[in-house]
Amino acid sequence: MDFLSDHQPEMLPGNRQLPPTQGVIEAPHGTTIVAVTFPGGVVLAGDRRATMGNVIAQRDIEKVFPADEYSAVGIAGTAGLAVEMVKLFQLELEHFEKVEGAQLSLEGKANRLSTMIRSNLGMAMQGLAVVPLFAGFDVDRAKGRIFSYDVTGGRSEEHNYAATGSGSIFARGAMKKLFREDLTEEQATTLVVQALYDAADDDSATGGPDVARRIYPIVTVITEDGFRRLTESESSEIARAILERRLEQPDGPRAALL
């Protein structure tokens, strides 16, 4: 926010002096975020684990947040910095909306997030990177869109599906095989939980559904009607259905060979 940078620059993440450090700073890191578009919207979901080195720092962290009525952001990377970045991002979108009386375009929101990530580059070079995934419903084009970022703030629009975080390679593989153009909302939510399951299967830093503690992935859906987070019972139902099938087929659904 321009006003904030004039008024109280120390409040903004990019303007803080960094103490010189040696080696890697140990801080909780968030892991896998996945997103899938379907006709009529987009689904954004994340696992619940935060790790610090080889330790699980938190089992039930929340890494997917609504940015405003029509968009959401999922965070991978240093949890503390990422949560602050999201808070500032939310504030900025809301502030713009109130002052101007109109919402930013989805592109505008994506660009703004890009600048915020770039301002964190100094931290990223010390190992405290924040790499979010941004998904939203584009009201003008009437479709769901996904934007992914790199640590330098480079922004690229992803088509159909995207993933970020340490388990993203496995999640992306799963989504590649499961994605179809004509997914319904229910199928899309199942798909993202499948992808998170596969990521948790092969990446130690990604948490799978925890039936014993009733911790399930956070799944959010953004459509024409706005942002909606699936209730715990809805996401547990999806996770349990998947678990049930995986008891017979541990590797999940199989795609056709040809």
User: Does the protein bind another protein through residue 115 (CB under 8 A)?
Assistant: no
3-state DSSP of 209-223: CECCCCECCEEEEEE
Residue 31 annotated in active site: yes
Marked catalytic residue, from 21, 31, 51, 189 = 31
Question: Distances in Å between the alpha carbon of 90 and those of 48, 167, 202, 240?
Answer: 21, 26, 33, 32
Interface residue with another protein, options 99, 212, 247, 256 (CB under 8 A): 99
Of residues 27, 57, 83, 88, which one binds another protein by CB under 8 A?
88
Tokens of 99: 């002052």
Which residues, at least 6 apart from 86, have a Cβ–Cβ distance to it below 8 Å? 65, 67, 73, 75, 132
Any contact of residue 7 with another protein (CB under 8 A)?
yes
Q: From the CB of 232, what's the least distance to another protein, in Å?
A: 17
Binding range to another protein, per CB under 8 A, among 2-10, 160-168, 177-185, 214-222: 2-10
- Per CB under 8 A, does 20 bind another protein? no
Helix (H, G, I), strand (E, B) or coil at 247: helix
Binds another protein by CB under 8 A, chosen from 58, 60, 83, 94: 94
Give residue 242's identity as a one-letter amino acid code.
I
Contact pattern for another protein over residues 195 through 234, marking x by CB under 8 A:
------------------------------x---------
Going by C-alpha positions, the residue among 110, 10, 19 that lies closest to residue 118 is 110
Closest by CA position to 43, among listed 83, 71, 76, 63: 71
91 near another protein (CB under 8 A) = yes
Active site residues: 31
